[in-house]
Structure 1
């Protein structure tokens, strides 16, 4: 029975990984530019995105496996959950975590930079004339990647030799077995904890700025971004307007034939206005072609059709995501206040909370759903995808910046390979921050013990199961402060919570910064959310064409009004020409 249950949990994870691979493929192909595509960049981006999503989605597997060792309703271990069996499960999870974290670090710090420089080193003219060999290109990419390899080595060396937290080791409040287990580590675990904490710290900075903004932008933008005209109709109207514009230009130029003094001032002003309008209409024609998927990859065309099919559901979906985002905001705020006020050791151990003192809705939902696997797994998958999509929206809206300077723009179908690689690294680091945020702030009890409980009757002998059938027995949820010998025999913390708590308790600086950064995240979310209530930044192609946006403000590309059949026209690819207006106001 135990083997079947464990196997089902891993099978569910394998199915989820396949789904995540499909999501990674769609993400990369939608955003990369079709005219400047490189197989190496595409492969590395897909692999890296899949690995980072697989890492964060291992959390519910971790929780389900450790929770499967106990009867939550009885408060005791199952008959098969011997110490050796539990240790075997934990050891397997540790191996998978170490593998995924190492893979993420290798991809983020070595493989992606090497791919970036490999792409940059390509010289088309030199390659055509045989002046650039593969070996030269490899060496050119490798010599720039050496700096990143040295950086990785330095991180692990510093983590290997840096002293453990003396305050934490001398704190009598950490005498419980739960904390002793975190403090009793070797130098190898110290190096890994330091490296993980440093990368998590960098990722948290990006997470605060981009995911905080994206979490507010995504729901409101879905609610307020309804199309005013379908892409086929826009293309047909633009073509008709462009034809009328050019015909009027030919008429004016015809008047000028045979005249020595040229056009009069009124006709000259009109011709200049027509030339400006022609440039605007050409840009709008290109925009309509991009929006309808003409001359684009078949996957992008399919995605545009799918978006059109589900467009009527965007309002409902936006409202649902808005409620979810507000629920996450409230839950994180409650946990943050609870940790700041009731943490057993404060900044000495990264604000570890012994148990939840205030009702926290997200944690409650996950704890209750974890009693019936895979309900919590599905909810966790949706939560992770929401955070991931919010991060993508944040990066696409803000762009890749250094201070106030924009380095790259992330655009659907127009993202350069260099920008895509940098965005992938940013998402990789953000996922580490999401791991901390979900496990320590959004649903801390669920991420640590799941639905595990114990009964407060002490066992007759050390190591034995307590007699939970006793009339005075109380079933109590497992917490970090469970000092009862029965709790030590029943409660098994998740491997993820052990990793993160080990980082924060042995290197308190990381724990302090990561904790207070959550309040900065909430502040960014609140500011952007209030702003989007009054003005929603465009997340579609209109936002990306700055010149076109300026012309729209001048009224040259004024909206023709909302129409319900725009969705059907986008799906079928046929639009209706509603007539055009020339510069003189004549309707054609």
Structure 2
């Protein structure tokens, strides 16, 4: 029975990995520029993104395995869960965790930088002339990657020799649970330091991008239906562009042979028509992107599916608004609980002994963990929501250094360099996401799951008391449980042990990571409230910086026009009639504003 249960848990994880590969492949394929698509960059990005998702989705597997060793209804271990078998299970989990964490670090610090420099070193002219070979490109990329290799070595050396926290008499760290976390294994401590530092950096990125994306994603889904369908937009734009150019040709022909050229009135009209032409060309490119013109069948299919599910996306957006608010409330409650009731505060990175305030998400996960794989499905949905929010945040804000935009992330227009850089950011974000899920969003679930113990006095520590006749004595497992029965029954998850080991051995990381969660909540609240009352600025700098416009349309405006546009996008044809979108006078505001692919409306 135990073998069957364990096998089912790992099979569920394997199914999730296959889903992760599909999600990573589609995401990379949709965002990258078709003409600059290369097999090496695509493979590295897909493999890295799959590894990231595999790291996060190992958490519910970890929790399900340690929870399977106990009978929660009776507060005791199962008969087959001997200390030796439990230790073998934990050892397997530790090997998988350390492998994935190490793989993420190597991909982030070595493989992706090498791929970046290898691609940057390509010179088409030199290659055609035979002055550049694959070996020379590899050697050039390795020279730059050495810097990142030195960073890895320095990180592990610092972690290997840096003094860790030590237990003191009368300190909460004297408790058995925390003594177990104080590691004397130097290689393990070196890895903990390296991951802790990367998590710290990732937390800063997580606060900016994931918080913004979590606020923007539901609103983007609600606003996903345009007021004009892509086929209508393409047909009307082509007609207006033809009329515009015909009028310019008429003006030029009418003034041919004049000694002074165009008069002042015709010159103003021609200038207005020229500005309008640029706007129409910009709109034509937008329509081509929306209809998938010149793109692969996968992109066209993706656009069709997006049009088909627009009504569902509206409902899904409303549900995501509720879910994001539940996440916000849950994190806030846990943060307040930790700040007020942590037994060791800054000495152990605000480790919380047990939940003191009711927390909705934690309660839902603990209750559903009793029936695997319900909690796994819910955790998968939560993880994909936060991961998608990170992608939306990066796409909306762009990759920046302070106020300077280095790369923009857009569907079908993302360069390989931008894609690799975004993958590095996602790697660091996932490390921070692991901390947030385990320490803030569902701390009890991530540490002990639904495990309980029988809080009855015993004389022999090896004897497990029975709570069949005393159900009130069944208590949820916690780090502060002093009853010897708790030490025999409660098995903490590997992921919580690893994160708490980082916090206890290097409290600075835990303190910064903890207080940064309040910055996450603050950024989310600001962006969410701002997005409800005003849409983000439309970034048209890549087409013409002088024609940048602001989108002022409200969240629920133009709702009636959206249903017809959705149907036309599904069938892929125009309504067959033209509309007057205001082509006169050169007023760009009359010509219209277009959506940029992140859920902004078309307002004509």
Change (3 A) 1:563 1:431: closer
Which residue of structure 1 aligns with residue 548 of structure 2? 550
CA contact 1:465–1:486 (8 Å) conserved in 2: yes
Which residue of structure 1 aligns with residue 81 of structure 2? 81
Query: C-alpha offsets along residues 232-261 of structure 1, whole Å, 9 cap, x if unaligned?
Result: 100000011111112222222232244444
CA contact 1:459–1:467 (8 Å) conserved in 2: no
Counterpart CA distance in 2 for 1:132 and 1:583 is 54
Change (3 A) 1:553 1:473: closer
Q: Which moved more, 1:255-264 or 1:1-10?
A: 255-264
Which residue of structure 1 aligns with residue 380 of structure 2? 381
What is the correspondence of 1:152-551 to structure 2 with a 5 Å cutoff?
152-166=152-166, 168-471=167-470, 474-537=473-536, 545=543, 547=545, 550=548
Change (3 A) 1:542 1:19: farther
Counterpart CA distance in 2 for 1:10 and 1:553 is 48
CA contact 1:220–1:318 (8 Å) conserved in 2: yes
SS in 2 for 1:5: helix
Change (3 A) 1:461 1:549: farther
Change (3 A) 1:418 1:80: same
Change (3 A) 1:253 1:507: same
SS in 1 for 2:563: coil
CA contact 1:230–1:569 (8 Å) conserved in 2: yes
Which residue of structure 2 aligns with residue 106 of structure 1? 106
**How big is the shift at 1:85?**
0.9
Q: Which moved more, 1:431-440 or 1:469-478?
A: 469-478
CA contact 2:172–2:344 (8 Å) conserved in 1: yes
**How big is the shift at 1:460?**
4.8
Which residue of structure 2 aligns with residue 583 of structure 1? 584
Q: Which moved more, 1:298-307 or 1:440-449?
A: 298-307
Which residue of structure 2 aligns with residue 71 of structure 1? 71
Q: Which moved more, 1:331-340 or 1:171-180?
A: 171-180
Counterpart CA distance in 1 for 2:318 and 2:519 is 25
CA contact 2:291–2:303 (8 Å) conserved in 1: yes
Q: Are 2:125 and 1:125 equivalent residues in the alignment?
A: yes
CA contact 2:272–2:585 (8 Å) conserved in 1: no
Change (3 A) 1:544 1:495: farther
Q: Which moved more, 1:522-531 or 1:441-450?
A: 522-531
Change (3 A) 1:399 1:551: closer
SS in 1 for 2:453: strand
Counterpart CA distance in 2 for 1:554 and 1:534 is 9
**How big is the shift at 1:545?**
5.0
CA contact 1:67–1:452 (8 Å) conserved in 2: yes
Which residue of structure 2 aligns with residue 137 of structure 1? 137
CA contact 2:535–2:552 (8 Å) conserved in 1: no
Which residue of structure 2 aligns with residue 8 of structure 1? 8
Query: C-alpha offsets along residues 187-208 of structure 1, whole Å, 9 cap, x if unaligned?
Result: 1121111111111101001001
CA contact 1:229–1:560 (8 Å) conserved in 2: no
Counterpart CA distance in 2 for 1:170 and 1:385 is 44
Change (3 A) 1:162 1:276: same
SS in 2 for 1:454: strand
Where do 5+ consecutive residues of structure 1 fail to align? none
Change (3 A) 1:554 1:525: closer
SS in 2 for 1:441: helix
CA contact 2:168–2:174 (8 Å) conserved in 1: no
CA contact 1:217–1:536 (8 Å) conserved in 2: no
CA contact 1:453–1:491 (8 Å) conserved in 2: yes
**How big is the shift at 1:328?**
0.6
Counterpart CA distance in 2 for 1:548 and 1:572 is 36
What's the TM-score, normalizing by structure 1? 0.95
Change (3 A) 1:512 1:171: farther
CA contact 2:537–2:550 (8 Å) conserved in 1: no
CA contact 1:449–1:491 (8 Å) conserved in 2: yes
**How big is the shift at 1:454?**
0.8
Counterpart CA distance in 1 for 2:369 and 2:98 is 24
Query: C-alpha offsets along residues 311-340 of structure 1, whole Å, 9 cap, x if unaligned?
Result: 112221111111111111111111111101
Where do 5+ consecutive residues of structure 2 fail to align? 592-604
What is the correspondence of 1:39-58 to structure 2 with a 5 Å cutoff?
39-58=39-58
SS in 2 for 1:476: strand
Counterpart CA distance in 1 for 2:284 and 2:183 is 66
CA contact 1:344–1:353 (8 Å) conserved in 2: yes
SS in 2 for 1:142: helix
Which residue of structure 2 aligns with residue 566 of structure 1? 565
Which residue of structure 1 aligns with residue 602 of structure 2? none
- CA-based RMSD: 2.3
Change (3 A) 1:292 1:26: same
State the aligned residue count. 583
What's the TM-score, normalizing by structure 2? 0.93
CA contact 2:365–2:445 (8 Å) conserved in 1: yes
